[in-house]
Amino acid sequence: MRICVIGAGFVGLATGVTFGKLGYEVVCCDIDKGRVKSVNSGTLPFYEPPLEKELRILVKKGSLAATVDTVAAVKASKFAFVCVQTPSLPSGRIDLRPAKTACGSIAKALKYSRDYIVVVMKSTVVPSTTDLFIRPILEKGSGKTAGRDFGLCMNPEFLQEGSALKDSMEPTRIIIGSLDRRSGDMLESLYAKIKSPRLRTDLRSAEMIKYASNTFLATKISYSNEVANMCVRLGIDSEPVLKAVGMDPRVGPLFLKPGVGFGGSCLPKDVRALKDRVRLEGYESRMLSTLLKMNDEQPREAIRLLENAIGDLGNKRIAVLGLAFKGGVDDVRETRAVPLITGLLAKRARVVAYDPMAMQNFIRLMPTIEYASSVSECMKGADGCIIQADWPQFRKLGKKEISLMRAPVIVDGRRCLDPATIKRAGGKYLGIGYGLQ
Ligand code: UGA
């Protein structure tokens, strides 16, 4: 059976490779010819090594290929998964233009197909989009009726960058929102080999599940940041505090790590999009507004800690380690490194930055700061250092690197270092939520 996946980004390629590994024939579609070429040569357009390895195997075997011809690919498939990006417009509203283009092509394919094709929205879209925006595009463009001539489902994904394939192959849950029973049953049987818990819902609930999940994660992170900011002022280390909070099964241990805030292509834009969506219904979500404000302000906490230690930042050389939105990825979308560095520059600091994988992407965002080609080069002569992303190699910071600094002040913006190791290596350790001296 052939499955078509539209959008060759993180979600699309993780979905495509997952179905390829489950034994289906997969066609990935993208309007970007460069991306299509890259996929067909078994290379990912982003850094995600385990996914790339499996992609290469599937391409070699001939069970996964990419094309720019979405109409032909959908016509020859039983399922069409929409996995295009849904970024924020400047107002915070969700940008549905890529989804509109993709569904326009699917509609053309549906028009000439005699098969019952199931269209599956996997892109994160605000509640009612699939029913009130996508469905009319499909019905008008094809002259057919959803739920009778073709199927319509909403099947959100919960994968994290850095563990995309594992999260897609072993999802915490499979949510199947469907317009009609038949398409829901067909989608459920597609996942038969994956033994994760399932939940069947309507389209709108499935859309909301994704937003409720991501805004909860954003809340958990912001809560941790708040506890950490209080602890540091009270002379307490937030680490055992948050660890103990997470030992309560009603809370759970994950996503309680304080830092300079949440970034990436999902959490910030999903908080904004849901806030905008409910505002259209006359509801002002104070909680979501506060989350965004807290997250905007959190990088300042790292700057404040640094200033407390070394005084006026004017003309001081500050090393920023980690430019990606988190360690282990090369994605710089909504990375906290931008507000952090902007804040340092506003205080007239001289910034030198380094990231093991994301530097090329970041240079496009901030072309004028100084970049180093290694951790040591970055730290050489620095009056202070801020860790912005939790790359494993930063955890190895020791005497060698710290002795290169002019003043050995380390601000751990992700709480990924061991304070005792830094202190033993002659460094002054400061961290988000670290109130001990
Ligand atoms: C996020 C969600 O975690 C996924 O479940 C979801 O499927 C995905 O968005 C999506 O909607 O597609 P991702 O964007 O890969 O995944 O990033 P996360 O791992 O969630 O990290 C987001 C940000 O929060 C990063 O900047 C990270 O450093 C920060 N973070 C995370 C913390 O500050 N503290 C934590 O405890 C965890």
Q: How far is CA 33 from CA 8, 45, 130, 155, 177, in A?
A: 11, 12, 27, 27, 32
135 lines ligand 1 (CB under 6 A): no
Yes or no: say if 86 and 101 are a contact pair by the CB < 8 Å rule. Answer: no
Give the model's pLDDT for residue 208.
Answer: 98
Distance, CA of 75 to CA of 89 (rounded, Å): 32
Yes or no: say if 306 and 415 are a contact pair by the CB < 8 Å rule. Answer: no
Give the model's pLDDT for residue 180.
Answer: 95
158 lines ligand 1 (CB under 6 A): yes
Yes or no: say if 391 and 369 are a contact pair by the CB < 8 Å rule. Answer: no
129 lines ligand 1 (CB under 6 A): no
Distance, CA of 53 to CA of 66 (rounded, Å): 16
Phi, psi of 123 (to 5 degrees): -55, 150
Residue 148 alpha carbon to ligand 1 centre in Å = 38
263 lines ligand 1 (CB under 6 A): yes
Residue 266 known to be catalytic: yes
CB atoms within 10 A of CB 367: 8
Give the model's pLDDT for residue 437.
Answer: 80
| Residue to mutate, 124, 221, 227, 254, ligand 1, most ligand atoms under 8 Å from C-beta | 221
Residue 10 alpha carbon to ligand 1 centre in Å = 14
Residue 373 alpha carbon to ligand 1 centre in Å = 27
Yes or no: say if 77 and 25 are a contact pair by the CB < 8 Å rule. Answer: no
Residue 81 alpha carbon to ligand 1 centre in Å = 23
Nearest residue by C-alpha to atom 6 in ligand 1 = 158
Mean pLDDT, consecutive 10-residue stretches, the chain (437 aa), reads: 97 98 98 97 95 98 98 97 96 96 98 96 98 98 98 97 96 98 97 97 98 98 98 98 98 98 97 97 98 98 98 98 97 98 98 98 97 98 98 95 97 97 97 94
421 contacts: CB under 8 Å, gap ≥ 6: 397, 398
Yes or no: say if 28 and 66 are a contact pair by the CB < 8 Å rule. Answer: yes
Distance, CA of 85 to CA of 96 (rounded, Å): 8
Residues paired with 177 in a beta bridge: 154, 201
326 lines ligand 1 (CB under 6 A): yes
Nearest residue by C-alpha to atom 18 in ligand 1 = 160
Residue 105 alpha carbon to ligand 1 centre in Å = 31
Give the model's pLDDT for residue 28.
Answer: 98
Residue type, 73: A
Give the model's pLDDT for residue 417.
Answer: 97
Cα three-residue angle 223-228-233, rounded to 5 degrees: 135
Residue 365 alpha carbon to ligand 1 centre in Å = 21
Nearest residue by C-alpha to atom 9 in ligand 1 = 266
Give the model's pLDDT for residue 132.
Answer: 98
pLDDT, one tens digit per residue, over 221-233 is 999 999 999 999 9
Distance, CA of 401 to CA of 256 (rounded, Å): 29
* Per-position b or e across 67-104, b if 16+ CB within 10 A of its CB: beebbbbbbebbbbbbbbbbebeeebbbbbebbeebbe
Query: Model-level pTM?
Result: 0.96
| Residue to mutate, 167, 266, 301, 412, ligand 1, most ligand atoms under 8 Å from C-beta | 266
> Looking at ligand 1, which atom is closest to the CA of residue 11?
12
325 lines ligand 1 (CB under 6 A): yes
> Looking at ligand 1, which atom is closest to the CA of residue 160?
15
Distance, CA of 315 to CA of 399 (rounded, Å): 25
264 lines ligand 1 (CB under 6 A): yes
42 contacts: CB under 8 Å, gap ≥ 6: 52, 55, 56, 59, 60
Distance, CA of 434 to CA of 305 (rounded, Å): 10
